[in-house]
Structure 1
Amino acid sequence: MLQARRVPSRWPRQVVVGLLALAFATAGLAGSGLPGQLWYLRLAGDETLVAPADGRQAERVLARDSRPVPWPDGSQYLEYRRSGGAVDQVLVKDTRSGRVLHSADLPGLCVQFQPSPLSKSIVMAQCYRRLLDNKGIFVVVDLAAQRLLHSEPDQPRRHRYRWLPDGRWLRSHDETGRLSVRASDGAWQPLGQLRLPPGTRTRDIRVSPNGDRLAFIVGEFEDYESEKPKARAHLWTARLDGSQQVRVIADNATFDVRWSPDGRALAFNVDTSHCDFGDNCHGNSGWWTVDAEEHGIAPVVADARHAKATPLMRRFPSGNSAPLRGVDLLAWTR
């Protein structure tokens, strides 16, 4: 139940109106029944926290000074530790106890780790000799057996790799929108293509939990050749083959997307300040959720109620709650 509080007279009227609108918009969120767990990194404190997506229970600190990559069921997660040398360390930890389950050394600088939906020890990644290399190696590794299962050298940084729920691999090209798929024992096969507007690239692409749809961010560029981005990016969805492509939210600064574990909702990040990349916008960057079937909805406005989208909430150990802002949502697990 909302309780009346005295509003300081020094607050501008428009701020008070905005806060009241947001309070009414989020008052019923704790009972909204969002499934699963949110994993998020505090941008100002380097803490990773885990909390129920419905906001009914308090968040808890999971790790510090790392970016955990959880498996889809949330039972374990990967930590990548850079040594500054030729070999880096990968640890797999149990979420409840923090116990190390597997460890392995990987050469080079590896990014875009993706845990397998079918194995608790297999991951895919893209590895580079140097941070700014345009080409790297796509690898699939069994961390428990410390065995390289697959590698493809000289792969352009433009490629993004994702697991499909049945264990196949999806490859997308962020500039052309081309989509390909392959089984671990097969060859890459053309699947389809995303229709990217001129002067844009995909910034993030995610496969739905049942493997039939894509959610992706299309970013605009002030200078396409030099890769100077604009502070404008948009959320789209499509079928796995790129067909039935629709823009979910219009005219917004939307930079990341996550599927809910049941595939019925999307969480997306919005920078309502419209500040440039690299600026300190931690307090203006918030996470919202929307039905995955929506498209063409109005832009999100800071501290205002939205007809279709709802802000995700975080609950503190004190019992107080607030919109989920100033964090990087690493994952939304079961």
Structure 2
Amino acid sequence: MRAAALLALCLLSHQGATAQGQLLFLDAYKHLSGSTPDGKSGQELTPFALGDKEGLQMLAAGRKYALFRHTSKDRDTVFIHDTATHQLEYTQEVPVNTDIAGPLFGDPDTFMLRTFVGATDKNSAFIVKLRAGKLLGTISTQGFKDSIRALPDGRLYRINDDSGRIAVAAADGGWRDIGALQIPPRLKISDWRISHRGDKLAIMYGSVDSGGVYRSDIWVANIDGSGQYRLTSQWDMMYPRWSPDDRYVAFQFDTTSSLINPAGLGGAGLYGHCSYWYAPVEASNVSGISYGKAHPIARQMYVKKSGREMADTCTLLAWEH
């Protein structure tokens, strides 16, 4: 009864709904671009390509983004932009391979900088005034197996990749356990995203099958790990992204990694399709998605890129206001 009621709710809420906000993605030349979710309007946001040592990180619950550009052997220049207007607010230099989280602890200029040297962060991160380049202190990270991001209320939020244990830290720097994800048997945490309100998680769990092909799906849980349920059930879904109002979860639908080429090698990436779709957050066990075909619950996302309307994208970085 519960599953049937949820499905009916999803269909009713989804019928006639139009996705809002803007999509940030990479075009064919790896330039950062923006588009409406219907693929009718868009613009290129960077004149340069984002390479392996350059990228984008979302800040302030999606209201700002940090754009990294590799400028020297051991330094990156980070450009802080307003997401709604794409206006540059300031720049700062940071060490290469640095993650930024924040703002923190009620201060719009305070952020965590976590620098990796090889596979280690030396179990600590810096708390800084980013605009001024001022060091405020350090905080323990518990090691590279813990992924750390910021909650909208300014606390740091940490998930252990192996155990699913969840902890938060406030301005005093002390970590407090609040719960744990229930990692499904034989699967591992591959990616996770905090909702814009900070009350839910979208998690990508996956594993390598007997043929050597990576398979994954998307789950949703409360921010403390409780109430977890499976959003998709097709094993071709990756990299979740929340809609600006948290009503939908977008995900990459990638069949290129699950097909077998004529030589019998799995995951060759020579066949199949890759695109982004979205489904209502109340949905569960969404399956039967097929490229180019309408689905009763999920919808395909489109972007405008290189002047072409309603194009597919396989590189959705964020879905924001």
Aligned to 2:66: 78
Given that residues 219 and 232 in structure 1 are in contact (C-alpha distance below 8 angstroms), is that contact kept between their aligned partners in structure 2? yes
- Measured after TM superposition, the shift of residue 70 of structure 1 is 4.3
Letter in 1 for 2:143: P
Partner of residue 34 from structure 1, selected from 5, 8, 19: 19
**Shift of the alpha carbon at 1:187?**
1.2
Q: How does 1:59-208 map to 2 (within 5 A)?
A: 59-63=42-46, 64-66=48-50, 67-72=55-60, 76-93=64-81, 100-111=88-99, 113-116=100-103, 121-130=109-118, 132-133=119-120, 135=122, 137-152=124-139, 155-208=142-195
Mapped pair 1:329 → 2:293: no
Equivalent pair of 2:126/2:138 in contact (CA under 8 Å): yes
CA contact (8 A) 1:199 1:221 kept: no
* Candidates 210, 219, 230, aligned match of 1:247: 230
Deviation at 1:271, TM superposition (A): 0.4
Tell me the residue number matched to 1:235. Answer: 218
Q: CA deviation at 1:54?
A: 4.1
SS at match of 2:315: strand
CA separation in 2, counterparts of 1:106 and 1:277?
A: 39
The CA deviation string for residues 14-72 of structure 1, in whole angstroms up to 9 with x for no partner, is: xxxxxxxxxxxxxxx9x743221110012x411111012344x4210001323333445
**CA apart distance, 1:125:** 4.0
Asked if 1:272 corresponds to 2:255, the answer is yes
2-side partners of 1:161 and 1:212: how far apart?
16
What is the aligned length?
295
Contact 2:120 2:143 in 1 (8 A): no
CA contact (8 A) 2:67 2:79 kept: yes
Equivalent residues of 1:129, 1:136 under 8 A apart: no
Q: Which amino acid aligns with 2:192?
A: I
SS in 2 for 1:321: strand
For structure 1, the residue ranges without an aligned partner over 5 or more in a row are 1-28
SS of match in other structure, 2:205:
strand
Compare 274-283 and 167-176 and name the one that shifted more. Answer: 274-283
Question: How high is the TM-score relative to the length of structure 1?
Answer: 0.77
Matched, 1:53 2:37: yes
Report how far residue 115 of structure 1 moved: 4.3
State the match for 1:285 in structure 2: 274
CA–CA distance in structure 2, aligned partners of residues 143 and 178 of structure 1:
29
TM-score, reference length from structure 2 = 0.79
On the 8 A contact 1:128/1:137 being kept in 2, the answer is no
CA distance in 2: counterparts of 1:293 and 1:191, whole angstroms: 24
Of 198, 206, 212, which aligns to 1:219? 206
Question: Could you say which residue in structure 1 is the equivalent of 2:296?
Answer: 307
Match for 2:23: what amino acid? L
Task: Give the CA deviation at 1:96.
Answer: 7.9
Tell me the distance in 1 between the aligned counterparts of 2:179 and 2:61: 29
RMSD: 3.1
**CA displacement at 1:236 relative to structure 2:** 0.2
Instruction: Supply the distance in 1 between the matched residues of 2:66 and 2:30 (Cα, whole angstroms).
Output: 16
More moved, 72-81 vs 210-219: 72-81
Distance, in Å, in 2 between the alignment partners of 1:143 and 1:161 is: 18
In 2: Cα distance, 1:115 partner to 1:278 partner = 36
Which letter maps to 2:219? W
Residue of structure 2 in register with 1:4 after alignment: none
Relative to structure 2, which stretch is displaced further, 80-89 or 293-302?
80-89
Matches of 1:214 and 1:95, distance apart in 2: 21
Residues 219-238 of structure 1, C-alpha deviation per residue, up to 9 Å, x if partnerless? 11359xxxx97420110001
Output the CA distance in 2 between the equivalents of 1:300 and 1:165.
33
The CA distance in 2 between the partners of 1:318 and 1:80, in whole Å, is 25
Deviation of the 1:143 alpha carbon = 1.6
Q: CA deviation at 1:215?
A: 0.7
Counterparts of 1:119 and 1:269 in 2: how far apart (Å)?
Answer: 34
